[in-house]
């Protein structure tokens, strides 16, 4: 949706997707399905999908990134080898080239204000409050900065990475079936974008006035939120407007009844 006001071109975009067991996803709003699991071949299937995603991400991130490593030993947590360091290093390089503001903490108050505003709207509808999630915040912030640095505005990057790809790259909604001792899981993921609004009240009013964005904010399927904010500074930046990104998510595990009975 596009609106013209006060000489500023403002844009809004929203997407919703529900992901099911082993990282498969349905591109329909709030699809629900039972996620059954067979342990056989799960690790190898997940690793192959991660490797394919890693190959696609290499086009976007020039610095090499280590894939998420999944242990096959029960009780061991999966380790993200070098991922956080590589993401931080690449992010700093992009900011310096684009002339963006490197102090991400400068937006802490704005992110908290967005969370408070979202939870206020949810409370009015009798919905539980969302909590801030670090992985969702990382995904949202990186996407805001990438759109600003490369002068585009979309849920999908020029390389074809969707919001689902970007969120999963942080490790969110990736479950080691051997570790979780669960029969399955389902994850709901969503994203709201906006550009040009200069205040929290402004952007929240426009999101709430748009049915698709409102649906994300008031969805009973979401439990967590991440907020990304970026704006231009310097001659290297092509988009001068402030960009806002909301990444929504939830992860629900299905208990392993056989394991519980055995215990």
pLDDT of residue 10: 59
On whether the CB atoms of residues 179 and 238 are closer than 8 A, the answer is no
The residue among 227, 223, 156 whose CA lies nearest residue 188 is 223
Q: Tell me: pLDDT of 206 over 80.
A: yes
On whether the CB atoms of residues 173 and 250 are closer than 8 A, the answer is no
pLDDT of residue 64: 32
What does each C-alpha distance from 62 to 21, 55, 125, 152 come to in angstroms? 30, 11, 45, 19
User: What is the DSSP track for 60-122?
Assistant: H-SS--PPEE---STTPPPEE-SHHHHHHHHHHHHHHHHT----GGGGHHHHHHHHHHHHHHH
Q: Tell me: pLDDT of 203 over 80.
A: yes
Domains and CATH numbers, the chain: 102-255 (3.40.33.10)
Structure tokens given for 183: 């029969």
On whether the CB atoms of residues 256 and 182 are closer than 8 A, the answer is yes
What pTM value is reported for the model? 0.63
Q: Tell me: pLDDT of 79 over 60.
A: no
Reported as type and span, the H/E element at residue 189 is strand 182-195
Which residue is it, tokens 């290093």?
A: 89
Structure tokens given for 130: 């969302």
Torsion of CA 105, 109, 112, 118, to 10 degrees: -130
For residue range 5-21, list pLDDT tens digits in order.
333 345 676 765 544 33
Q: What is the mean pLDDT of the chain?
A: 70
pLDDT of residue 36: 37
Q: Tell me: pLDDT of 233 over 90.
A: no
pLDDT of residue 178: 65
Whole-angstrom distance, CA of residue 208 vs CA of residue 201: 10
pLDDT of residue 176: 67
């Amino acid at each position: 949706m596009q609106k013209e006001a006060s000489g500023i071109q403002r844009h809004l975009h929203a997407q919703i997707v529900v992901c099911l067991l082993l990282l498969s996803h349905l591109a329909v709003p709030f699809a629900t399905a039972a996620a059954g699991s067979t342990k056989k071949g799960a690790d190898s299937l997940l690793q192959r999908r991660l490797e394919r995603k890693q190959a696609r991400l290499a086009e976007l991130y020039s610095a090499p990134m280590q894939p998420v490593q999944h242990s096959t030993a029960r009780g061991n947590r999966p380790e993200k080898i070098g991922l956080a360091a590589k993401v931080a290093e690449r992010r700093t390089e992009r900011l310096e080239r684009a002339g963006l503001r490197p102090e991400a903490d400068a937006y802490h108050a704005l992110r908290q204000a967005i969370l408070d505003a979202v939870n206020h709207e949810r409370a009015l509808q009798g919905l539980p409050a969302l909590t801030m999630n670090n992985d969702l915040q990382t995904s949202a912030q990186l996407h805001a900065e990438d759109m600003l640095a490369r002068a585009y505005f979309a849920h999908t990057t020029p390389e074809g990475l969707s919001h689902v790809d970007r969120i999963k790259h942080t490790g969110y909604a990736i479950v080691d079936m051997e570790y979780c001792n669960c029969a399955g899981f389902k994850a709901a993921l969503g994203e709201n974008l906006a550009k040009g609004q200069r205040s929290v009240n402004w952007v929240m009013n426009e999101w709430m006035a748009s049915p698709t964005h409102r649906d994300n904010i008031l969805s009973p399927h979401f439990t967590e939120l991440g907020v990304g904010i970026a704006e231009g500074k310097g001659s290297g930046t092509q988009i001068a407007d402030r960009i806002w990104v909301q990444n929504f998510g939830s992860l629900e595990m299905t208990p392993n009844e056989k394991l519980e009975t055995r215990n």
